[in-house]
Amino acid sequence: MTAAEDVTIEDERELVTFRVGDQDFCIDIIHVREIRGWTPATVLPHAPDYVLGVINLRGAIVPIVDLARRLGLPKTDLGDRHVIVIAVVAEQTVGFLVDAVADIIGVAPKLIQPTPDITAQTTRMFIQGVIALEQRMLRLIDISAVLPPLVKEASA
């Protein structure tokens, strides 16, 4: 999508960082609408295993994606301490289940390194780049790639 192009003109990209599994990830703050605690979702039949179901977000029906499962990590063991990051991409609103939200940081675009080439297929699909931060590696998620594909209107 064009999200990346939209922000390159900015001096710094603001990113929301969070933990999934034991790894650090981040997404552009532009896409984040709100962060809320986990509430049980209503199961959707015939859904892929990373779709936990749908919740009511002030009258809107929002699907919840287990980000760990989506990224090919082990399934999240659900607990009250988990957090849902509500993201809006184009017209689609989706909630992502993460372990915990860590911080909001500003990163100069030049600090975002290309994803190392050795990674697996799923990683290449979902990770836009990596950022070195205090001995840790932050993985920048391509938000449009992790969205559940709209049934019958598959995103190109």
Partner 1 sequence: MSTLNDIRQMFFQECEELLEALDDGLELLRDSLDDGQEMDLETINAVFRSVHSIKGGAAAFGLEALVRFAHRFETTLDDLRAGRLPLTSDVLEVCLRAADQLAELVAAGRDDRDVAADAGAAVIEKLAALSDTKIVTEAEEDSYVPVPMSFDPLPLEFGSVADDGPLTLRFQAQKRLFTNGNDPVHLFRELSVLGQIKVQIDPKSVPEFDQLDPTDCALSWLILMETSEPVESIWEVFDFVDGLCTLEIDTPKDASALPSSSQTHVPLPDAGLSASAAAPEVSRLDPIGTGSEVSLGAQRPESQSPVPEKSAKSETCAGAATAKATVRVDLDQVDRLINVVGELVINQAVLTQCIKAAEIPMTTGLSASLDEFMALAREIQEGVMAIRAQSVKPLFQRMARIAREAADLAGKSVRFETEGEATEVDKTVIERLVDPLTHIIRNAVDHGLETEEQRRAAGKTDIGTVTLRAAHRSGRVLIDVTDNGAGINRRRVLSIAIEKGLVPPDVVLSDPEIDKLLFLPGFSTAPTVTDLSGRGVGMDVVRSAIQKLGGRINITSTSGAGTTMSISLPLTLAVLDGMVVDVAGQTMVVPIATIVETIRPVPGDLHRLAGGMTVVSVRDRFIPIVDLGYVFQFRDDPSTSTDLVYLLVESDHEQMWALAVDRIHDQRQVVIKGLEGNYGHVTGVAAATILGDGKVALIIDPEEAVQRTPSDMPPPTSPRIEENRQ
- Residues near partner 1 (CB under 8 A): 40-47, 51, 53-56, 59-63, 91-94, 148-153
Give a three-class secondary structure readout of 24-92: EEEEEHHHEEEEEECCCCECCCCCCCCEEEEEEECCEEEEEEEHHHHCCCCCCCCCCCCEEEEEEECCE
Give the residue with the Cβ less far from partner 1, 46 or 110.
46
Output the smallest distance, CB 143 to partner 1, in A: 14
Provide the minimum distance between the beta carbon of 44 and partner 1 in the complex, in angstroms, as a whole number. Answer: 6
Closest to partner 1 by CB, 57 or 111: 57
Q: Which amino acid is at 49?
A: D
Q: What are the beta bridge partners of residue 66?
A: 97
Residue 59 or 79: the one with the smaller Cβ distance to partner 1 is: 59
Tell me whether residue 60 or residue 125 sits nearer to partner 1 (CB atom). Answer: 60
Please state the closest distance from residue 135 (CB atom) to partner 1, in A: 38
Q: How far is the CB of 156 from partner 1 (least distance, A)?
A: 15
Cβ atoms within 10 A of the Cβ of 139, count? Answer: 21
R_g (Cα) of the chain, nearest Å: 15
Determine the Cα–Cα distance for residues 119 and 117; give it in Å rounded to an integer. Answer: 6
